Chains A and B, each alone.
Chain A
Amino acid sequence: MKETYYNREDLAKFGDITEFQEELGEKFFNYYSSVFKEGALTKREKSLIALAVSHAIQCPYCIDAYTSDTLKQGCDEEELMEAIHVAGAIRGGASLAHGVQMMNQVKDKLM
């Protein structure tokens, strides 16, 4: 098998991070499961947010996990792609918003 930095089967081993630091790992997983419980936001909404964030941070494990999860929550392709466009808009917007900084510099330096 071709060796890669990311292996799909490693997602199932996520829980193993407690092997090297049990206390912090368990605290993280307890926190994680609390975050995704139904609250002011539904599980479905949280799952779509997680999918969008997964793309913004470009985590392949998270993308796999939350593609499956959003589908389990009854979302369809259109909803998944709209969530990713939200990530894309924020990422693109973040780059473009820094254009103001560039413009400020330009205006300071040029006649």
Chain B
Amino acid sequence: MQSLLKQKHKLSSAETQLDILTDAKSAGIPDFKEKLTKSGLYPLKPVQLDILQVNVGKLCNQVCKHCHVDAGPDRKEVMSRETMQHCIDALSRSDIQMVDITGGAPEMNPDFRWFVEKVSKMKRQIIVRCNLTIILANPKFYDLPEFYRKHKVNVVSSLPHFTSRRTDAQRGVGVFDKSVKALKMLNEVGYGTDPDLKLDLVFNPSGAILPGDQAALETEFKRRLKTRYGIEFNGLFAITNLPVSRFLDYLIVSGNFNEYMNELANAFNPMAAQGVMCRNMISIGWDGYLYDCDFNQMLDLKINVRRPHISDFDLIDILNRKILVNNHCYGCTAGAGSSCGGATT
């Protein structure tokens, strides 16, 4: 399977996606800005800056059907060491405590380890969104669990189900079996049992449905993975799929777009809207541009400041900005809320 970009698919254009998302009337839903206004939250403003989410590239060994990044082996955009250095400079000028490294498969960036080592020396918490299969993709990655252990990285990994059928349907044939092996390798170095080595899983539905109760899902995943495979992990984050890129394409092709948007809009929760992740984080693209979140990044909605680039990092400007919203944002405010750390209420 190729990325939408490689296929020259119309949805590889952020502009086309935004045209679809902005047309709330056609989907039969109220505009997201109206919903926020009624909740007294528009314009949406940051509360603080706790997390720097760094997308180090779109290159990935997998081509997941729901991927909002449109990542894959044919995507060559990766963050340069120079841009990583700008991220480190910004960190050194702020008290941001958490660096959340994502991709693509972030480990495929040639400067990934250099970056982790630098951030680790600064004593900031590090999250790596590891797709698990990368650990087994090439002998040069076999030592990743040990590398993560050394730097006390919080490993956050997608596993949409505890069976191969549901996992492979979303992430590709054979992904489940490899993920199980990789989880066991992480467990072997202490992940999931050592209190300093957190291993969290991400559940996101493999279809046009919203996730259920996060705590109940976590209990079920823990029971199944422990009894069947002896796997231990810490938390499970239930994340809603946002109608962006490949998941948007899936919704349209499967005829589920309007119904899904209505389900998201009907489940709008003002409490979840108050706690959306864009209020305490910023997202950095592979080329150094700044965004309110990884989804806005894929829609090319740059942060609303004068110079939206990490080389011009200005904390005051960032904290005073208005966050850019559109109807995809319903995904973060539905039900119990959704963020890169799971439910928000």
Instruction: List the interface of chain A (C-beta within 8 A of B).
Output: 38, 42-44, 68-69, 71-74, 76-78
Q: Choose one: B161, B209, B211, B217; the contact of A76 (CB below 8 Å).
A: B161
Tell me, in angstroms, the Cα distance from A69 to B213 when the chains sit together.
Answer: 11
Instruction: List the interface of chain B (C-beta within 8 A of A).
Output: 161-163, 165-166, 203, 205, 207, 209-213, 216-217, 219-221
Given contacts A38-B216, A44-B216, A44-B220, contact A71 B205 (CB under 8 A): yes
A70: nearest residue on chain B (CB-CB)? B212
Given contacts A38-B216, A73-B216, A73-B217, contact A78 B163 (CB under 8 A): yes
Q: A71-B207, A72-B209, A74-B221 are in contact. List 20 more A-B contacts (CB 8 A).
A: A38-B216, A42-B219, A43-B212, A43-B216, A44-B216, A44-B220, A68-B209, A69-B212, A71-B205, A72-B205, A73-B212, A73-B217, A73-B220, A74-B161, A74-B162, A76-B163, A76-B166, A77-B165, A77-B166, A78-B165
Residues of A within 8 A of B207 (CB): 71
Residues of A within 8 A of B211 (CB): 72
Tell me, in angstroms, the Cα distance from A76 to B212 when the chains sit together.
Answer: 13
Residues of A within 8 A of B161 (CB): 74, 76
Residues of A within 8 A of B210 (CB): 72
Tell me, in angstroms, the Cα distance from A7 to B11 when the chains sit together.
Answer: 32
Residues of B within 8 A of A77 (CB): 165-166
Find the residue from B161, B205, B216, B219 having the highest chain A CB count within 10 A: B216
Tell me, in angstroms, the Cα distance from A78 to B165 when the chains sit together.
Answer: 9
